[in-house]
Amino acid sequence: MDFRRLGQSDLHIAPLMLGTNVFGWNVDEPTSFAILDAFADAGFNAIDTANTYSRWVPGHQGGESETIIGNWLKKCGKRDKLVIASKVGEDMGSGRGLKTSDILREAENSLRRLQTDRIDLYQTHFDDPNTAPDETLQAYAQLIAQGKVRAIGASNIGAARLQASLATSQRLGLARYESLQPRYNLYDRAAFERDFEPICRKERIGVIPYYSLAAGFLTGKYRSESDIGKSAARAPRIKDFFNARGLGILKALDGVAARHAATPAQVSLAWLMARPSVTAPIVSATSLGQLAEILKAVLIKLSGDDIVALDAASA
């Protein structure tokens, strides 16, 4: 399997990263364990979570996903073979924040839930415009010096803020963001390719996109208004893609999938993996069958004609 280096760090990850926001939400612990086992046994090594998963569920406090992963890590004995990524900055009850106290407190909480002594990739989940990059990056540097964090990354921050943070790291001699976790897929292309991709390629920043299958739209499961109605939770998001352009993307996916005896979901992920700037798309699964289908995406090698067809439909 082709492992890629994450930015300029010493972290090397397989071409797909497992997203775990569903753990403890609509996937229980035994099923989560089975998914994690199957993912690791297939040779993949990178797992993404966040302190806030799944605080949006009534009765949840946040940290449910990290707790399940921690219980699995204790049981499986594979910690040293894995890249564990988590995030900080989202509201955990006292508002969003990236001040020193926020980062140090939440890092300790995440380490405790994950039952590990280090987080391999610690990411800014959401920006904090009230805190200067200097303070945020110095807090991360403190965790790195203590051996509690190996590398840092960013997710939902603006391009200007990303550049300012990189400049701050260089000016102060601090660890820099080695990865970016943007919303990016065949449908959602413009913002990343216009504002972030040039920065990431120039600065050699790893890219680990979330929303890789556009809330399930790029699986081809949703083809009509009646299909949208089958999933009440996803309906508001799926409707955003259900237009002439979205249907054109599905048609192109169908054509490429037929040539490769693959599924639209597999082709969508193969397209992302073929992008020069992308390190590894983040994927999630709620069942072993779903995971098995997703992982087969790494076997697909798109031709130049395939990519042209997909690019044209999604441009």
pLDDT at residue number 238: 75
User: Strand, helix or coil at 282?
Assistant: strand
The per-residue pLDDT for 117 is 98
Q: Look up 53 and say whether it is catalytic.
A: yes
Task: Compute the average pLDDT of residues 96-119.
Answer: 96
* pLDDT average, residue stretch 258-285: 98
Q: Which of 53, 122, 140, 184 is catalytic?
A: 53
The mean pLDDT of the chain is 95
Which residues neighbour 281 within 8 Å (Cβ) at sequence distance 6 or greater? 15, 16, 17, 208, 209, 212, 269, 272, 273
Q: How far is CA 137 from the centre of its chain?
A: 21
Boundaries of every domain in the chain = 4-181
Mean pLDDT across the stretch 11-32? 97
* Tokens 């556009």 found at: 214
Q: What percent of the chain has pLDDT over 90?
A: 90
In this predicted structure, the answer to whether residue 153 has a pLDDT above a threshold of 60 is: yes
Average pLDDT over residues 152-171: 97
Residue 135 has pLDDT above 80, yes or no: yes
**Superfamily designation of domain 4-181:** NADP-dependent oxidoreductase domain (3.20.20.100)
The predicted structure's pLDDT at residue 95: 78
Predicted confidence (pLDDT) at residue 183 exceeds the cutoff of 80: yes
